[in-house]
Structure 1
């Protein structure tokens, strides 16, 4: 069975107006994400057969007798003109126990051009609270992946995508994100949960 996905855009304050034009956005607001394949309740994409018939992605699950809550993989195109928040995602255990969601969010990134990202390899400990913005920014290890680089981001890794970045994100079907710093944009932060889920990582083990 050959299927074509029908992308859907998501406007984000850190996004790219050119990306919106490319995908036919009707709004002038910046587009940060194009959801290429998703069965997540926030944005659900459809698929199209070679004959032109449009199907809900759940029909694909039924065709293969997959008895799961929703399609487990989510694919996005991300284009950032500004820094995304410094954030972390929970693992499956935390997501199920605390958020009543089937999965947490482990992800990986394939870069489509030279980009900028930041990683914090050490977990945040409760004795660091309250978090100081200047201190948390200084802990970011800045990397500049090139076209074709691949980066693995396991759940619990504190990270941020930086300006002038473009990548394909392959992730679990989850939108659980805990922000610890958002560059003074005024959006909600989720410090307590972020501290609970953050983990130590070895950056060298994440780059392929």
Structure 2
């Protein structure tokens, strides 16, 4: 005797959907694929030269570099002139203002110490604008405060000789240019570039195959 199955317990056969049947809505959550913005949008975030990956040169920064270089050159010429006057006995007291004020006897210990002090002063007058020129070109932001030291070093011309005053206008001009707003933004961009980690790029190398491929 066969077992009776109620209609509720009977298995239902699923009819395959016909062509005219409505398509059931998909209730699964839609996941959006994450993508990067276009390349030009990424480049706008850090406006650098695409050829070098470094910030583009700003005219005020370039002119400031030239001014500091000219100041260093003028100070070097003034120091050479002072040294030439010091090694000659007839012009020893007229070589620098420091010698004129103190009037030491040529060849004495005081004259040797004053000559050494003159070289130190001249070295500071040459090195300070030279240092500012190099670091302005490299986009170091600290040169804005270093410009004050450059002006102080140029003021040492009072102790050296009148020729050393030729460096003062260039140092002042360079100090004004590095404090311009556009130069400040340029220094800030350099700071961002230096703080961004470098991306290691894959460089393909030639592949050497076995002897079979060599003779093919």
- Give the greater-gyration-radius structure (CA): 2
Between Structure 1 and Structure 2, which shows a larger proportion of helix residues? Answer: 2
Pairwise same-fold verdict (TM > 0.5): no
Where is the strand percentage greater, Structure 1 or Structure 2? 1
